[in-house]
Structure 1
Amino acid sequence: MTTTAPKPTVLFVCVHNAGRSQVAAAFLRELGGDQVEVRSAGSEPANQLNPTAAEAMAEMGIDITDQQPKVLTPDTVKTSDVVITMGCGDACPIFPGKRYEDWTLDDPAGQGLEAVRIIRDDIRARIETLLTSLSISSASGHDAPPEGTTHD
């Protein structure tokens, strides 16, 4: 009988947990499959998901409309292996032994679909890099953005 290392738990945190962190979590769930546990939360969660972020993800064949913004708790951070913040400042508690990354990303709130597509594609590229750093191979066939979108 072989034992495998426990799958890593990744937490995405932004202020409202309605756009960036939800998009990142969706890409990691889609591309990481069952090789990773994915969480997202916000320091000041919004009442609902950003509909433009949901539309941009739907273009990639990923439905996030069932996701709800969740409040960030110290326990959620404590029980995660990797914590990725996206513009939440000092709201995220720091615990020793965790891997922290801060991704500087524009907030999709109030932006049009074209701008949100750019943010979405940036997040996807970062997720692919994260998967590589966690030694996780992509589990999805979503290899290219739809026509009309660009990668920088």
Structure 2
Amino acid sequence: MSAKPSVLFVCIHNAGRSQMAAAYLLHLSGGRIEVRSAGSEPAAKINPAAVAAMLEEGIDIRTETPKILTAEAVKRSDVVITMGCGDTCPIFPGKRYEDWNLEDPAGKGVDSVRPIRDEIRARVQALIGELLPAGD
């Protein structure tokens, strides 16, 4: 792993789960981890319920845009976390791959998105503990 670890979050539309995870990782790591997110079939815009749920946490993702998953993004990442894109994610040797089985927030209201957001936050906090040495 590089001196500054890098993580790529991938879900199909890159409009909800992966955007929330990327925002949490950037926020909670204080920029000590390089963060990317992408989707195999990016949506036109970020899920409004995900935006609202993150605003409740003081994190603004309104200016984010869904991005297409590229092999280059995978190559440049130490850890690739998928959230429902399955076998559309390229596999490269030497990368750490995880699949976070999370409910899709698409089409749900903010009340239904909050538990998904909270689970993402807990997983991101655990990931930070694994990637950053204690005391960093």
Letter in 1 for 2:6: T
**Counterpart position of 1:114:** 111
> Counterpart in 1 of 2:85?
88
Q: Which residue of 2 aligns with 1:132?
A: 129
Distance in 2 (CA, whole Å) between partners of 1:103 and 1:138 is 27
Instruction: Name the aligned partner's letter for residue 72 of structure 2.
Output: D
Match of 2:15 in 1: 18
Match of 1:60 in 2: 57
Query: What TM-score do you get using the length of structure 2 for normalisation?
Result: 0.95
Determine whether 1:51 maps to 2:48: yes
C-alpha distance in 2, partners of 1:54/1:112? Answer: 11
Mapped partners of 1:108, 1:97: distance in 2: 31
Question: Segments of 4+ in structure 1 off by > 2 A?
Answer: 135-139
Deviation at 1:116, TM superposition (A): 0.1
Instruction: List runs of 5+ in structure 1 lacking aligned partners.
Output: 140-152
CA distance in 1, matches of 2:105, 2:134: 28
Q: Is the counterpart of residue 35 in structure 1 residue 14 in structure 2?
A: no
Q: How many angstroms does 1:135 deviate by?
A: 2.3
Distance in structure 2 (CA, Å) of the matches to 1:84 and 1:74: 14
Amino acid at match of 2:46: L
Q: Work out the percentage of aligned pairs sharing the same amino acid.
A: 64
Aligned-pair CA distance for 1:34? 2.1
SS of the residue corresponding to residue 122 of structure 2 reads: helix
Q: Which runs of 5+ in 2 are unaligned?
A: none
Query: Which one is further off, 130-139 or 97-106?
Result: 130-139
* Aligned equivalents of 1:138, 1:27: Cα separation in 2: 20
CA-CA distance at 1:136 after TM superposition: 5.2
What does residue 5 of structure 2 align with?
8
Cα distance between partner residues in 2 of 1:49 and 1:110: 12
The residue aligned with 2:66 is 69
Q: Quick check: which has more Rg, 1 or 2? A: 1
Partner Cα separation in structure 1 for residue 73 and residue 44 of structure 2: 20
CA distance in structure 1 between the partners assigned to 2:133 and 2:64 by the alignment: 24
Cα distance in 2 for residues equivalent to 1:112 and 1:85: 23
